[in-house]
Homo-oligomer: A and B are copies of this chain.
Amino acid sequence: MEDGTSMSATHTDVRATTSCEIRDLLDRLADKWSLLVVELLGSGTRRFSELDRDIEEISQRMLTLTLRNLERDGLVSRTVHPVVPPRVDYALTGLGESLLAAVHPLVSWTRAHRDEISTARESYDSRRGHEGGR
């Protein structure tokens, strides 16, 4: 992982540094569900089953794994209530909320340019769409 070959800094390696940041970011959040869960928790504490229901398409397994990772990174807090039946609440930590804030521009961007992207995509596809793939 840490190839560390940062000696290739012929010139300023601001690029390389930024690359690492992004790599870091991607490795942590570029999975299928993390940001989604963070976004949901942004509107308040939720129980496991609530998250499960709200996302629907997610499997319990992935919800659990996602929450674990987020908890591990200090983005989400997990609170177990010693009652029967068990009740576990998840919420964003301060760190998680700051992430959510940082993500928001990206969400807005997606919303704002969704159509543009669709158009570009269709245009591209029709240009070479043709021969049904294989």
Contact = CB atoms under 8 A, between A and B. Distances in A.
A73 B123 CA distance: 9
Main secondary structure of the interface of A (DSSP, over half): helix
A21 B107 contact: yes
A39 B99 CA distance: 19
A98 B21 CA distance: 19
A5 B102 contact: no
Q: Chain copies in the assembly?
A: 2
A76 to B, nearest CB: 10
Given A32-B30, A116-B74, A24 B110 contact: yes
Contacts of A22: 35-36, 39, 107, 110
Interface in A100-127: 101-111, 113-114, 116-117, 119-121, 123-125
B113 A106 contact: no
Interface stretch (A49-57, A59-67, A84-92): A49-57
A121 B32 contact: no
A73 B36 contact: no
Contacts of A23: 36
A19 B36 contact: yes
